Each structure stands twice: as structure tokens, then as C-alpha cells.
Amino acid sequence: MKLSICIPTYNRHKHLNNCLNSILIAKKNFSHLSFEVCISDNSNDFQSKKIIQKYNLKLKISYKKNKKNIGYIKNYLNTVKMAKGEFVWVIGDDEILKYNALQILYKKFYKHKDVDFIFLNSNTLHSDYLKNFKQPFNTFNLPKKMESFSKAYKDKKTSFFNLIDYKVSWDFLLGIFQCIYKKKMFLENLKVVNHKKLFKPGVWSTFENTAFYTQVYAAAFKDSKVLIQAKPIVVSLYGHKSWEDLWDFIKIVRIPELLDMYKKKGLDNSKYLKMKNFALRDFFSCFKNIYFKGDKAGLRYVKIYNHIFLNIFFPSIYINLLKKILLKLNKIFLTRSNSYAKI
């Protein structure tokens, strides 16, 4: 088995239906890649199980219904441990494969046999778009033009820390659905994660329970050959996610912490400073939003010294603030000029 597509799911039956249908369409378009689908289900009903049963004869599916909600992290790890493939691709139940995804992956696996890790470019699409079509959604109805996540414009074989670049991955590998990796190497390096912090209560209350997999990536693949797949083969949906109020917190607290972690694992200091300067560009606006939204935006997890004082010296913070002020002043000036012109 070459690839295991792993899907941790929880009470998003309609999205799961579209996800599985997209995998089926990709299989029908190209059937030569040996793959399976592994699903660990945290749902509090059996709707997901009913949907999965529709695909059992068409896809090779391993399915586990958890007796209770075991949380996202254990659900994620369940799917990886269920996998029999050499490579694992963990995707959200609301991600959609493009019709040619498996065909492209087959070619990459065949051509680049020395690669341990693949970074996938993706498209983004508002989930409301799918409501305009018969369900489950047919991926041949995807828009021809969609926003691309990465600025990478051609495939490239490189080293792991060259992925830590905002021109490749501006969230620095935070998106799980954009990474395919060797299962054995990942599981062997799970020990690098502090398990006490990993399972601390609270949604994204620690760096570990937000992005533990990036710690494992850095430990497992820092000396590996990796591949950048520039043409998007997966679509990430937005507009329905339960954590969207936490986005400012993720952007200005967890992503800078992510770069701190990479630096400890071997990221070059000059590159670290450049990437962190980029990551902190919306410092004031993000913290303003977190402050006014309060705990639902992660305020309780903000540490004044670690997240504010240690980061406040990066120049992009003030350059970006100045740009916003000048744009606002220019808008006011133009509005007044137009008003006087009408007198």
C-alpha cells in the first residue's frame, strides 16, 4: 500500500460525504495508485457511519467509531496508526480532492522515490459554493479560477527547512491537509512532543495541542529530501469552521511560536528573523481583535511577556501600522476632496 488518506471526523456529515465523493471521483479518473482511506469518527451519532457505508464497496475504507469524543489529537493519531500505507495524508473531513489528485501523486511517487515528505499547494473556496449543486458535490463543478495558497509556481525537490518560507507556505506547514509524509518516520518521532501539554484541556490552549504535528515534522524530516507540489490538487473550504474566531490568535501567537520551534530544530537564524518579521506584520490589529473578542478569541492564552514583549521589536509591526494609517488618511482626504468638488 503506497498511500493512506486519513480523515479524522466529527459531526460534519455533509462535508464528509463531499470529501469521500471527491476521493471516489479521483479514483475513477485514475485507478493505478494503491491507496486506502482511514477514518476515525468522534461523532455523537451514526450519520457518518451511514455515509461511509455508501462508499465501502467503491473505496478501500478502514473505519473506527469511537465510543465517545476522544478529542481532535487522539482522533488524528488514530487515523495515522490505522494506516497501512507507506505514506500518510491526513486531511480534514471538509477538504476536497481535485479529480486529478491521485494521478498527479502517482507520478510524483514514481519519479521521486527518494522523497520522505511532500508539500502540496491547495486552493481555497467558500463552502457556500457547494450548496449550489446536487449533493454529494461533483468536483468537476469546481470553479476554474480559485485562489491558490502557495506562491510556489513550479515543482521543486529541496530540503525540509526550505519549506519554512512564506513564499512556499505562509503558515509554515500549519495546514495538515498540505502535507504527505512517511508514516514510520512520523510515528517514530512522536516522542519529541510534550504529552502533558499535548493533552491539556482547552481548544488550542498550548502550542502542542495546536500544532504538535509540526514538531514531529521538524524532528522526523529535517534531514530528508522533500518535494514541493506546486499545482494545487486539494481544495480547502472555509466559512463554516468552528475555530474561525481564533484565527487572529493563531496568526499572531501560535504561528510566531511555530517559527520559534523551527529555530530550535535547526532553522537558519537569518531566515528565522525574516520569516518572523513577516508573521508579525498584523501585530496590532490581531491583538486588538483578540482583546475585544475576549476568551472566545483566545485571550486567556495570551502571555504578555512571551507573545507581546518578546515580539514587539520586529520592524514589520510598525511599517504595516504606518501603511494602514496612511491609507486611512488618504481615504479621508479623498472623501473630503470629493465632497468639496460637489459644492
Residue 337 has pLDDT above 80, yes or no: no
Confidence grade of residue 310 (pLDDT, cut at 50, 70, 90): very high
Cα separation, 263 vs 270, whole angstroms: 10
Q: For a pLDDT cut of 90, what percent of the chain falls above it?
A: 92
Residue 282 has pLDDT above 90, yes or no: yes
- Mean pLDDT across the stretch 264-278? 98
Segment 44-79, tens digit of pLDDT: 999 999 999 999 999 999 999 999 999 999 999 999
- Mean pLDDT across the stretch 38-46? 95
Unique residue bearing C-alpha cell 468639496: 340
Domains parsed from the chain with CATH numbers: 3-242 (3.90.550.10), 261-341 (no CATH)
Residue 340 has pLDDT above 70, yes or no: no
Q: For a pLDDT cut of 70, what percent of the chain falls above it?
A: 98
- Give Cα 218 to chain centroid, integer Å: 16
pLDDT of residue 333: 75
Helix (H) or strand (E) holding 122: strand 117-126
Cα separation, 161 vs 41, whole angstroms: 33
- Mean pLDDT across the stretch 143-169? 97
- Mean pLDDT across the stretch 155-179? 98
pLDDT of residue 343: 60
- 145: DSSP letter: -
Cα separation, 286 vs 248, whole angstroms: 5
pLDDT of residue 242: 83
Quick check: 91 and 22 in contact, CB under 8 A?
no
Buried b (16+ CB within 10 A) or exposed e, 46-81: ebbeebbeebeeebbbebeebeeeebebbbbbbbbb
Q: What is the mean pLDDT of the chain?
A: 95
Phi-psi bin for 126: left (phi > 0), alpha (psi -120 to 50), beta? beta
Phi-psi bin for 305: left (phi > 0), alpha (psi -120 to 50), beta? alpha
Residue 312 has pLDDT above 90, yes or no: yes
pLDDT of residue 334: 72
